[in-house]
């Protein structure tokens, strides 16, 4: 059967051009986004045979901010065909300023089965565009910004640890879409120290969930190391803050257009950001019970991977900065972290790190992970490397509490 694709373009002078182009000169049949965590997009074939991918933005409420950059789709195409994909619509707006994500998008991951992934570098094109060239190893190929961590991955983790006597999983509330938000406690509520971690406030940043999973797995290993860690501290982990966004393949905001790593300088809006309101309620309950976390880390991905040490005007800022310097030092010693921290003028108001320090006096910090490259390993990021990082965090916390004694 011969099928043709007719492209029509109207010129401004009224003429109509109707070139006839053979269907899918590239071998492409379809781009599938009909599955969990797939990124919403539309696409078209350019006359040169390249596939123009237009990711859809998600938008912040009452703000010019918008974000695209989550990539997760499945190509259906002729086995062996070589495809050129061009990503457009990367013109994000961030903190009210144009902030294209193109400059931060240097690699993606591809997979035939959605489980084993291979990194592939991308090429930068003028005008905030990115090119990716792939050869189809078979009739189907997944492409993702980074190795996906889906709701089903979290469900599998929760199922595997739920019955462990060291684990307590508490539902602290629901997302806008009605999904349960879990805080996982590993260890005893009466341990001397408490560390809190949150992952996935921004749905595209799957590396954060892999790090959290690595820590959980390490603390639950039935060995002498784990016993030592849990004798000293309990870990409280919110592994997926923006579940609705993860399910729908969104990039940054929740379903009501709120950034869950903003507005922590004021009480959370229970209607617009129920995910944050639930966490705030949980935190205030912990504080009321005399169990304030001694350290809180908000896990993210970006193109740089710094430790974001913010400096709100709090009475004991110097003490906080000294503790964060200790933390950074331990990260460098015990993990593959080499990226460093933000400079002495840095402040990012409204992030969880800044807000929890300012409002609750908690030593809190945002930890970004470079989504393109791990300099300390000279390798591309992967679920395996992020999990290893999480495993090593178990030691970092032990040493941190030992040294700092907060």
Looking at the Cβ atoms of 49 and 303, the one nearer to Zn ion is 303
The stretch among 146-154, 195-203, 274-282, 317-325 that binds Zn ion (CB under 5 A) is: 195-203
Report, in Å, the least distance between residue 162 CB and Zn ion: 28
Looking at the Cβ atoms of 333 and 347, the one nearer to Zn ion is 347
Report, in Å, the least distance between residue 216 CB and Zn ion: 20
Looking at the Cβ atoms of 202 and 367, the one nearer to Zn ion is 202
Nearest to 268 by CA among 279, 282, 257: 279
Instruction: Report the relative pairing of strands 180-186 and 167-174 from DSSP bridges.
Output: antiparallel
Is 202 among the residues that bind Zn ion (CB under 5 A)?
A: yes
Report, in Å, the least distance between residue 107 CB and Zn ion: 17
Instruction: Please state, in angstroms and rounded to a whole number, the distance separating the CA atoms of residues 254 and 242.
Output: 6
Q: Are 161 and 184 in contact (CB under 8 A)?
A: yes
State the number of binding residues for Zn ion (CB under 5 A): 2
Report, in Å, the least distance between residue 254 CB and Zn ion: 13
Token readout for 92 is 């994000």
Is 300 among the residues that bind Zn ion (CB under 5 A)?
A: yes
Report, in Å, the least distance between residue 38 CB and Zn ion: 20
Token readout for 355 is 């807000």
Is 70 among the residues that bind Zn ion (CB under 5 A)?
A: no
Looking at the Cβ atoms of 60 and 86, the one nearer to Zn ion is 60
Task: Give the other-Cβ count within 10 Å of 313's Cβ.
Answer: 7
Report, in Å, the least distance between residue 111 CB and Zn ion: 23
Looking at the Cβ atoms of 193 and 204, the one nearer to Zn ion is 204
Instruction: Please state, in angstroms and rounded to a whole number, the distance separating the CA atoms of residues 132 and 130.
Output: 7
Looking at the Cβ atoms of 285 and 340, the one nearer to Zn ion is 340
The stretch among 63-71, 165-173, 194-202, 328-336 that binds Zn ion (CB under 5 A) is: 194-202
Radius of gyration of the chain (CA): 23
- What SS3 class is residue 194? strand
Looking at the Cβ atoms of 185 and 300, the one nearer to Zn ion is 300
The stretch among 92-100, 125-133, 266-274, 295-303 that binds Zn ion (CB under 5 A) is: 295-303
The stretch among 45-53, 162-170, 227-235, 293-301 that binds Zn ion (CB under 5 A) is: 293-301
Token readout for 153 is 């991955």
Report, in Å, the least distance between residue 205 CB and Zn ion: 5
CA dihedral for 17, 20, 26, 30, sign (positive or negative): positive
Distance from CA of residue 179 to its chain's centroid?
18
The stretch among 4-12, 57-65, 202-210, 390-398 that binds Zn ion (CB under 5 A) is: 202-210
Looking at the Cβ atoms of 26 and 310, the one nearer to Zn ion is 310
- What SS3 class is residue 188? coil
Cβ neighbors of 27 (< 8 A, separation 6 or more) are 77, 78, 80, 81, 82, 83, 136
Looking at the Cβ atoms of 179 and 300, the one nearer to Zn ion is 300
Looking at the Cβ atoms of 86 and 302, the one nearer to Zn ion is 302
Report, in Å, the least distance between residue 367 CB and Zn ion: 10
Report, in Å, the least distance between residue 14 CB and Zn ion: 48
The stretch among 65-73, 85-93, 199-207, 322-330 that binds Zn ion (CB under 5 A) is: 199-207
Cβ-count burial of 305 within 10 angstroms (0-12 exposed, 13-18 middle, 19+ buried)?
buried
CA dihedral for 31, 32, 33, 37, sign (positive or negative): negative
The stretch among 67-75, 297-305, 359-367, 390-398 that binds Zn ion (CB under 5 A) is: 297-305
Instruction: Report the relative pairing of strands 82-88 and 129-135 from DSSP bridges.
Output: antiparallel
- Alpha carbon separation from 183 to 143, 340, 356 (Å, rounded): 31, 29, 17
- Alpha carbon separation from 82 to 5, 41, 107, 234 (Å, rounded): 19, 21, 18, 50
Report, in Å, the least distance between residue 202 CB and Zn ion: 4
Q: What residues line the site for Zn ion (CB under 5 A)?
A: 202, 300
């Amino acid at each position: 059967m011969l099928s043709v694709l007719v492209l029509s373009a109207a010129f401004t002078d009224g003429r109509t051009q109707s070139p006839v182009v053979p269907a899918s000169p590239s071998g492409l049949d379809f781009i599938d986004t009909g599955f969990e965590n797939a990124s919403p997009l539309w696409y078209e074939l350019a006359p040169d045979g390249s596939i123009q991918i237009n990711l859809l933005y998600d938008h912040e409420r009452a703000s010019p901010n918008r974000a695209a950059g989550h990539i997760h789709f499945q190509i259906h195409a002729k086995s062996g065909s070589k495809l050129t994909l061009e990503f457009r619509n990367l013109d994000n707006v961030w903190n009210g300023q144009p902030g294209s994500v193109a400059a931060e998008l240097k690699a993606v991951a591809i997979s035939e089965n959605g489980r084993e992934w291979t990194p592939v570098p991308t090429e930068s094109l003028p005008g905030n565009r990115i090119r990716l060239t792939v050869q189809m190893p078979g009739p189907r190929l997944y492409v993702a910004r980074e190795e996906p961590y889906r709701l089903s991955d979290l469900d599998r983790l929760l199922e595997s640890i739920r019955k462990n006597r060291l684990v307590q999983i508490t539902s602290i509330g629901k997302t806008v879409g009605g999904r349960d938000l879990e805080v996982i406690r590993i260890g005893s509520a009466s341990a001397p120290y408490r560390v809190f971690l949150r992952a996935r406030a921004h749905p595209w940043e799957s590396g954060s969930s892999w790090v959290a999973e690595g820590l959980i797995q390490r603390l639950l290993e039935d060995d002498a190391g784990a016993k030592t860690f849990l004798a000293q501290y309990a870990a409280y982990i919110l592994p997926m803050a923006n579940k609705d966004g993860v399910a729908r393949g969104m990039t940054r905001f929740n379903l009501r257009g709120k950034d869950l790593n903003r507005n922590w300088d004021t009480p959370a809006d229970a209607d617009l950001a129920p995910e944050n309101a639930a966490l705030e309620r949980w935190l205030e309950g912990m504080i009321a019970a005399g169990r304030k976390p001694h350290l809180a880390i908000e896990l993210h991905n970006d193109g740089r991977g710094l430790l974001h040490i913010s400096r709100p005007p709090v009475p004991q800022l110097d003490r906080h900065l000294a503790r964060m310097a200790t933390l950074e030092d331990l990260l460098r010693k015990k993990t593959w972290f080499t990226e460093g921290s933000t400079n002495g003028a840095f402040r990012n108001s409204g992030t969880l790190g800044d807000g929890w320090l300012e409002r609750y006096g908690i030593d809190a910090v945002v930890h970004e992970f470079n989504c393109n490259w791990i300099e300390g390993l000279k390798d591309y990021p992967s679920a395996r490397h992020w999990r290893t990082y999480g495993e090593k965090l178990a030691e970092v916390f032990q040493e941190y509490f030992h040294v700092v004694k907060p």
